[in-house]
Amino acid sequence: MDTNKLYDLWLEKAVIDPDLKAELEKVKGNEEEIFDRFYRELEFGTGGLRGVIGAGTNRMNVYTVNKATQGLASYVLNHGGKSVAISYDSRIKSDVFAKNAACVFAGNGIKVNLYPELMPTPLLSWAVRYLKCDAGVMVTASHNPAKYNGYKVYGSDGCQVTIEAADEILGYINKTDVFDGVKTADFDESVKNGLISYIGDDVIDNYMAEVRRQSLHPELCEKSGLKVVYTPLNGTGNKPVRRILKEIGIKDVVIVPEQENPDGTFSTCPYPNPEIREALELGLRLCEKEKPDLLLATDPDCDRVGIAVPDGDGYALFSGNEVGAMLLEYVARERREMNKMPKDPIAVKTIVTTDITAKIAEKYGVELIEVLTGFKFIGEQIGFLEKKGQQDRYIFGYEESYGYLAGGYVRDKDAVVASMLICEMAAFYRTKGKSLIEVRKEMYEEYGFYCNKLDTFTFEGASGMQKMNDIMDKMRTDYPKTVAGYKVIGFADYQASEKTDLASGAKETITLPKSNVISLYLENNNKAIIRPSGTEPKLKVYYTAVGSTMEEAEALQKKMSAEFGELVK
């Protein structure tokens, strides 16, 4: 069906949400606007759905959510499932999408466990596992701008679904007519008959107890005198993060007032991502007044956390690579010192996360496992250990994009436990007379100066995906032979599952799942990894630059960045 016919059909049938009708009327006769809304369906994959909120097949709305939910419901029933859990964040229409999804599951006879208020992503993973559900849905677009929303799907293990499961769900979605193929039930009636029920406080309390169990030195926090400024960036972290900090004895917590309460417009931080400085500006401004030891910022669904610490007259932002590496060392060293290290301990990182991790793991006798980008692959490794009765071997996992997890109680990154451990780590070093700036400096001096940076190149609209695919195809056949003066000595294509030593020609098989990722290995342990984002119209390039000083490493990274900027035009 062409885009104009789809537009006419939606204009006739899209009546559930009056906002959709108004939007469709507004773009009447505008071919470009109509085309962008209807030229494709939102892509469903292991990350679920994510897109701009609005009318059309290429938008997040009650119809695209209901269609995806019907596909997931068919999948659950086909596998003998009976129940699901649903959570949602503070984004525009998140509560509406969550309620509609609940009605579709109920219409298919599937029991729904729904949080009564917005709740973080890790608490959705926890609810799926704790309540022994067959699947879960988290309505969120994580740290995207306010115009986006999303729909993340979880399996019974509490991980985001695998490639195989996503493909099967997509098969059911494709068989579903967006208007006439969805079974739905009345929400209030479903609450009365028990098909939809609200998740109780006991589930949250037990989650918080599991988070507390990951603490190593809770006794230090109360007496350390640590002062924290915290911003939930108008998202779901406000209650659980403040609660856990209070429970471990950190009482001096100042909240950024403009970003305390839920606000789906994110009016004070249009891009609510703790990875970028702009999102932390209000927090940094409050730090100038309050002079805390630490600034914490969690993203809207509270699975990522960023920090800033005092540095001279201002505050320095730490990268996700730096925080993760420092947490791994803190956890590994203190577990060893306290005789709490399991036999044959394991840490997990993604392939785009800093290689300094390997040196830290080696020092403490920790086996390091590398996985594809996406925290579900870290969760999957915990699941493998659990099946062998060895879950306790897992001590820590992280990814460069500010996601961390200690303990296997959930299977996604968790900014609640990360916030607790970051504060505890800061309190621990404070009692030793060290600042986190000094600890970071010592880490680089011991293990080497690694500059890890990320460039993102945006390709919007209908032609954007094709442009990214063309760049990746060209990189496979015509990659650069040198980068920033360093020879390319190795090439890995994760789509072809093959890594090649360019000096000898020797090839080895990559045992990870196939993925649209290319790695270029340079002399002196430098590296560049290129991949399209799985959730946004962006091409990402991850750099590893190694120097004898951080200034040298940073200068090299800038050269690498400049050269790749030309390559991906």
What is the tens place of the pLDDT at every residue in 338-366? 999 999 999 999 999 999 999 999 999 99
- Considering only residues 516 and 466, tell me which one the structure prediction assigns the higher pLDDT: 516
Q: What percent of the chain has pLDDT over 90?
A: 92
pLDDT digits (tens, 9 = 90+) for 95-113: 999 999 999 999 999 999 9
What mean pLDDT do residues 528-539 have? 85
Tell me the per-residue pLDDT of 125-162, one tens digit each, with 9 for 90 and over: 999 999 999 999 999 999 999 999 999 999 999 999 98
Choosing from 74, 83, 142, 156, which is the catalytic residue?
A: 142
pLDDT digits (tens, 9 = 90+) for 213-263: 999 998 899 899 999 999 999 999 999 999 999 999 999 999 999 999 999
As given in the structure block, the two tokens for residue 372 are 């594809």
Q: Rounded CA gap, 215 and 62, in Å?
A: 41
Q: What is the pLDDT of residue 535?
A: 65
pLDDT digit string, tens, across residues 315-338:
999 999 999 999 999 999 999 999
Distance CA 497, CA 74 (A): 32
Q: Is 142 a catalytic residue?
A: yes
Find the DSSP H helices in 411-509. 415-431, 436-447, 464-477
Backbone angles phi and psi of 122, in degrees to 5: -60, -30
Helix, strand, coil proportions of the chain in percent (round to 5)? Answer: 40, 20, 35
> pLDDT tens for residues 407-419?
999 999 999 999 9
Per the structure block, which two tokens stand in for 427? Answer: 């309190």
Q: From the CB of residue 74, how many other CB atoms can be counted at a distance below 10 Å?
A: 20
**SS3 category, 319:** coil
The answer to whether residue 466 scores a pLDDT higher than 90 is: no
Question: Looking at residue 522, what is its pLDDT?
Answer: 97
- Yes or no: say if 537 and 347 are a contact pair by the CB < 8 Å rule: no
CB 300 within 8 A of CB 140: yes
What is the per-residue pLDDT for 1? 67
N-to-C CA span, the chain: 33
What confidence score (pLDDT) does residue 46 get?
A: 84
One-letter amino acid for residue 152 of the chain: K
Element holding 350 (H helix, E strand): strand 346-350
pLDDT of residue 569: 75
How many Å is the maximal CA-CA distance in the chain?
A: 71
Q: Which of 527, 318, 330 is nearest to 402 (CA)?
A: 318
Give pLDDT, residue 545: 97
CA geometry: angle 125, 183, 161, nearest 5 deg: 25
Task: Give the residue-averaged pLDDT of 178-194.
Answer: 97
- Predicted local distance difference test score (pLDDT) of residue 204: 98
**What pLDDT, in 10s, does the model give residues 46-95?**
889 999 999 999 999 999 999 999 999 999 999 999 999 999 999 999 99
Q: What is the pLDDT of residue 469?
A: 87
d(CA 137, CA 48): 9
Q: What is the mean pLDDT of the chain?
A: 96
Q: Collapse the DSSP code of 69 into the 3-class scheme (helix H, G, I; strand E, B; otherwise coil) and give the result.
A: helix
In this structure, are residues 144 and 536 in contact, taking their beta carbons and an 8 Å threshold?
yes
The pLDDT, as a whole number, for residue 47 is: 85
- Sorted by sequence, the CB contacts under 8 Å of residue 282 that are 6+ apart come out as 231, 256, 258, 259, 268, 269
Q: What angle do CA 183, 187, 190 make, to 5 degrees?
A: 85
Give one word for 264, left, alpha or beta, with left for phi > 0 and alpha for psi -120 to 50. Answer: alpha
